[in-house]
Chain A
Amino acid sequence: RKEVEQDPGPFNVPEGATVAFNCTYSNSASQSFFWYRQDCRKEPKLLMSVYSSGNEDGRFTAQLNRASQYISLLIRDSKLSDSATYLCVVMASGGSYIPTFGRGTSLIVHP
């Protein structure tokens, strides 16, 4: 089983739709979780951290389920500019402090 797994998609949704991505991780010692956004041929950019209680940033909501070892990202009222690849990032405790990236989920928002 891969350390961090994501459905590659693509998720093809119309503007205004709500879309959700899940990401599962295998290391139960994982402590820190993030979502990054990567546009085509660009560097990844931090979208948001994921906190145990869940957190929201505008149209974006991140959730963590430790029991089932997955995190999710919900995007409401999708915009054309949301089209990108969304990378799930997991970091375990124990001193290595090396974030592990999922391969990403592609989102295409169309008019």
Chain B
Amino acid sequence: EAGVTQSPTHLIKTRGQQATLRCSPISGHTSVYWYQQALGLGLQFLLWYDEGEERNRGNFPPRFSGRQFPNYSSELNVNALELEDSALYLCASSLERVTRGYTFGSGTRLTVV
């Protein structure tokens, strides 16, 4: 069974640009979660999508947005990039609501210069 896949692995952007990160969940999983992990910090919850709808979002500004497609894959968009957006962005998927933990992708490392 293929795991959660994320692309690209690495992304370098200039301050002010936009970044698009992609995630494909495990087959059959309908929920996708996005987390940000800045260097030395814990995982910060960004967004939760389930069945194509945004179900919850963390304490991040509106320039962090995303969507979930009919095939349950998801996209995270970060507009007007700032230096402090440099982080590892992790996507996880689960069946419906999480009750037994979930599986992460290997992440996209975003560097803003």
A positions within 8 Å CB-CB of B? 32, 34, 36, 41-46, 49, 87, 89, 91, 96-104
Across the interface, A34 reaches (CB within 8 A) one of B97, B101, B107, namely B101
7 contacts between A and B (CB under 8 A): A41-B88, A43-B105, A46-B102, A91-B98, A101-B42, A101-B43, A104-B42
Total count of chain B residues near the partner, CB < 8 A: 22
Contacting pair B48 A98 (CB below 8 A):
yes
Query: Would you give the shortest CB distance from B39 to chain A, in whole angstroms?
Result: 10
Contacting pair A36 B42 (CB below 8 A):
no
Chain B residues in 8 Å Cβ range of A44: 43, 90, 104
User: What 5 pairs between A and B have smallest CB-CB spacing?
Assistant: A103-B42, A43-B104, A101-B43, A46-B101, A97-B97
Chain B residues in 8 Å Cβ range of A41: 88
B positions within 8 Å CB-CB of A? 33, 35, 41-43, 45, 48, 56, 58, 88, 90, 97-107
CA A32 – CA B98 in complex, angstroms?
Answer: 9
Chain A residues in 8 Å Cβ range of B100: 49
CA A102 – CA B90 in complex, angstroms?
Answer: 15
Contacting pair B56 A96 (CB below 8 A):
yes
Query: Would you give the shortest CB distance from B52 to chain A, in whole angstroms?
Result: 17
Query: Would you give the shortest CB distance from A32 to chain B, in whole angstroms?
Result: 6
Q: Of all chain B residues, which has the CB nearest A96?
A: B56
Contacting pair B45 A98 (CB below 8 A):
yes
CA A97 – CA B95 in complex, angstroms?
Answer: 12
CA A41 – CA B33 in complex, angstroms?
Answer: 19
Chain B residues in 8 Å Cβ range of A101: 35, 42-43
Chain A residues in 8 Å Cβ range of B104: 43-45
Contacting pair B101 A103 (CB below 8 A):
no
Contacting pair A43 B42 (CB below 8 A):
no
Contacting pair B98 A99 (CB below 8 A):
yes
- A46 and B103 in contact, given A97-B97, A99-B98 (Cβ under 8 angstroms): yes
CA A104 – CA B40 in complex, angstroms?
Answer: 10
Query: Would you give the shortest CB distance from A25 to chain B, in whole angstroms?
Result: 13
